[in-house]
Structure 1
């Protein structure tokens, strides 16, 4: 049998105990090992000429050259980095970690040292990816204030966070193979870790359930941001729902109050992320989610039950009462299709009553003010109000375009849809604060599926390709809409048209 040799590489600054067995003498370089070179050369155990900003070795091998940060005053070690969430305005010129009070943890067995690019992915998550995913300012953005600290203490979560950051960064950097390779390593490690965890998972363990749920939801974000179009994300969502259902009978207010603060917050973050992904991935109304083993659970229809959590609002941004109308309209649309199948050309009186009730709910909704101690400027309030109007118009379009069944041919109805498209286009041009746009992909896709004017189609294509959020899934959304616009069939319009595109195998997960 052949001999298998396993070599364990230990960082050079860790002293090894003396060995009692006789070994071959180790050949050492005939120059003193420098400890002031770049981090990349140190990890590769290569000599560094210390040329800045890029040393000769990294330049020659075309790899990122990373240098250690200047050491700050010594601080006691910490395995659970603190988060600063005070309302004081931090220095915006500081890095995200400094503004948030996140202390880097440097341990050889941590996920953030898996590859030479891992520390870069962590910094990118804190400064870029985590910042653009939520609608709230940095002090109330759960991707930064809650998920990041938990990841420092949980390698499995850290791997999923770094994979999410990597797919964002890889798209921005284009053909950077080092970032792409590192991203896939973290992703595969996260998936492998999830499989292992599920083999030993015991239903009813709330702490373990919340831990796995959060990892799965971050992986869902990875799948969506990577532009994946085969529907893999729905497999993860089914697993998420199974975990939620396993503890949901105990999810009453008295039980939640008994949970430790960190666990309580993590659970609220998970429920909001799951609810947001479920509602915004309701695009077609014709079985995409429900036939895929993802029924609409009761709490999706009344998100007020989540609003009491301090972390709530990262995704919904105060508009949760509008978002919870999406699955309700989807069920209305499904009922309208059932009536069409039995030969009803127009809505039945019962369905007309439901339509009018939904339309009234959309029209009468008002954006709530932030609850103390949260505050916002007059400009921020205006931006949030305009963004909410974009969502409101998206709901009007969704309801109107599904009220006729598979084909929208009534001129008055088409004119009404066009009116809301025009208003939405105007409001989108008014928005200047990127974070308030973070949850507007759903209304843009719904409106885009109903656009017939060439100028507006060009505007939407340009907006998706050059948005505030340069991510692959925005290009995927643009490809889907262009594919829909190329189809001259009368059915290739609105949510039903999106349904026809999905039947060809082209899925569009939304975040």
Structure 2
């Protein structure tokens, strides 16, 4: 027999669950304050606030089929937000003074992580609690560890410039302190690097959490850009390029870097279109150099679908060269800008030659381009050193010569295409290898310029036919302080190539075959002849 209801229970009116609010609050089962055009919850969590079409007016929504249509992939009649309404609720981010640590309002939804292990805390020797106390993204211990690891380790492994002028510290961190999106990108980079050396689940969780926050905030900022409320191409380009570093460090083998580079290419045009006074800013030059470096070294083989994961590339030499006298020039290129910028053209020649092979021909255009590129590579000379450190200058010279021979090998291999056993090709490649192996043996892998050497190591390694030569290169790579998953996976690809019994497993062409065999998706770039035109759409 049921118990009699209390008087208070009988008198209390029945309250039904509120069935209004924005779509995201309802999906997250959070109370929505129904502030329009952007509710407080979505504004706080950097979500794209959307409303069903029946909520656009002042009436209440009676349409409860929106969830079913959303899950089935049908439209839900989203309300378009008027840009004029956004102005009152969204304010552009302001860069603080150089000495300020004031940041944008806290991004809710920061990863809630438990305290990091004592062993990891003790491994970091440069705690700066006074510098980090006001940064919302660094309020939990594990995120602070990622930041410290980035500043103490990762930043110094990414830049070819040693010492206090490292742009990953001097240029990136000031922007990160004023923009939570960039800060989360920095933490994702540090986390990707730290995950290569530790199996701590909290570190891995923090890294993925910050990576997810970057993507969420990036999408949110793009909605503001689309509405014309805010426009900051420098911050957007820096974020996408830092995500490229995440994919490179973590050794992503599914071509994820392609998406970041494709997004970066849109913002490169906007930065170049800035006024000449703004373009003199060191950060702009650094970002353009980083972009040009990435879209060059993603090319390691032409033995792939030329239309798959293609990034449009223009060397924009006339712009980058304008920063040559800057103390941060060469952070990605070292001395080798003139060589690295030839890589996409060489890869384009490789695609053409593979297509011509199917027709059993070799065009005069291909021969002329091959000879022209070969002359440019052989005539190239490193610029005079501007560094007082003799050891560093010597390593720069050695790296430049290694790059010169690697690019020449890449040219020969792409011209001969699938004819990897052609005696003429083997003679040309062996001549270059004989001249560069002594440089590889004497090169200091602990020099900061070693951060740019993975691409030539892959190209050279793919053409080594003797076990002794392979051991020299492998030992040199393993002796470097770059404890990154991407480096380990590069060695794994070379091991697969060397162990494969197929006669075609040689050179960049063989790398393409091996990557296809192991379901690794490369990214490539396509050169556009001519200079950037800021008025031309991407």
What band does the TM-score fall into relative to the shorter chain? 0.7 to 0.9
Distance 1:376 1:316 in 2: 19
Query: Could you say what secondary structure the match of 2:481 adopts?
Result: coil
1:104 matched residue in structure 2:
131
Where does 1:230-309 land on structure 2 (aligned, <5 Å)?
Answer: 230-246=254-270, 248=272, 250=273, 255-258=275-278, 264-286=281-303, 291-299=308-316, 303-307=320-324
Kindly indicate whether the alpha-carbon contact (under 8 Å) linking 2:440 and 2:473 is maintained by their aligned counterparts in 1. Answer: no
1:366 correspondence with 2:366: no
Where does 1:415-434 land on structure 2 (aligned, <5 Å)?
Answer: 415-432=427-444, 433-434=446-447
Kindly indicate whether the alpha-carbon contact (under 8 Å) linking 1:301 and 1:325 is maintained by their aligned counterparts in 2. Answer: no
Kindly indicate whether the alpha-carbon contact (under 8 Å) linking 2:402 and 2:436 is maintained by their aligned counterparts in 1. Answer: yes
2:496 matched residue in structure 1:
483
Kindly indicate whether the alpha-carbon contact (under 8 Å) linking 2:282 and 2:323 is maintained by their aligned counterparts in 1. Answer: no
Distance 1:423 1:204 in 2: 56
1:180 matched residue in structure 2:
204
Distance 1:272 1:300 in 2: 9
* 1:170-200 Cα deviation digits (max 9, x unpaired): 2112x21121121111111111111211222
Where does 1:65-144 land on structure 2 (aligned, <5 Å)?
Answer: 66=121, 104-107=131-134, 110-113=136-139, 115-144=140-169
Distance 2:210 2:137 in 1: 8
1:378 correspondence with 2:395: no
1:313 correspondence with 2:330: yes
Kindly indicate whether the alpha-carbon contact (under 8 Å) linking 1:125 and 1:161 is maintained by their aligned counterparts in 2. Answer: yes
Kindly indicate whether the alpha-carbon contact (under 8 Å) linking 1:224 and 1:233 is maintained by their aligned counterparts in 2. Answer: yes
Decide whether aligned partners of structure 1 residues 237 and 204 sit closer, same or farther in structure 2, where only a CA change above 3 A counts: farther
Per-residue deviation at 1:325? 1.5
Kindly indicate whether the alpha-carbon contact (under 8 Å) linking 1:229 and 1:509 is maintained by their aligned counterparts in 2. Answer: no
Where does 1:201-212 land on structure 2 (aligned, <5 Å)?
Answer: 201-202=225-226, 208-212=232-236
Q: Which runs of 5+ in 1 are unaligned?
A: 7-56, 70-93
Query: Could you say what secondary structure the match of 2:251 adopts?
Result: coil
Distance 2:222 2:304 in 1: 28
2:183 matched residue in structure 1:
158
Decide whether aligned partners of structure 1 residues 490 and 206 sit closer, same or farther in structure 2, where only a CA change above 3 A counts: farther
Residue range with higher mean Cα deviation, 447-456 or 283-292: 283-292
Distance 1:494 1:451 in 2: 8
Kindly indicate whether the alpha-carbon contact (under 8 Å) linking 1:289 and 1:295 is maintained by their aligned counterparts in 2. Answer: no
Superposition misfits of 4+ residues, deviation over 6 angstroms? 1-6, 203-206
TM-score (norm 2): 0.70
Q: Which runs of 5+ in 2 are unaligned?
A: 1-15, 19-28, 32-113, 525-538
Distance 1:307 1:285 in 2: 31
Residue range with higher mean Cα deviation, 294-303 or 329-338: 294-303
Decide whether aligned partners of structure 1 residues 302 and 407 sit closer, same or farther in structure 2, where only a CA change above 3 A counts: farther
Per-residue deviation at 1:225? 0.5
Q: How many residues matched?
A: 414
Q: Which has the larger radius of gyration?
A: 2
Distance 2:440 2:206 in 1: 36
Distance 1:203 1:210 in 2: 18
Distance 2:426 2:333 in 1: 29
Query: Could you say what secondary structure the match of 1:104 adopts?
Result: helix
1:492 matched residue in structure 2:
505
Query: Could you say what secondary structure the match of 1:295 adopts?
Result: strand
1:467 to 458, 480, 495: 480
2:245 matched residue in structure 1:
221
Distance 1:406 1:65 in 2: 49
2:367 to 352, 357, 376: 352
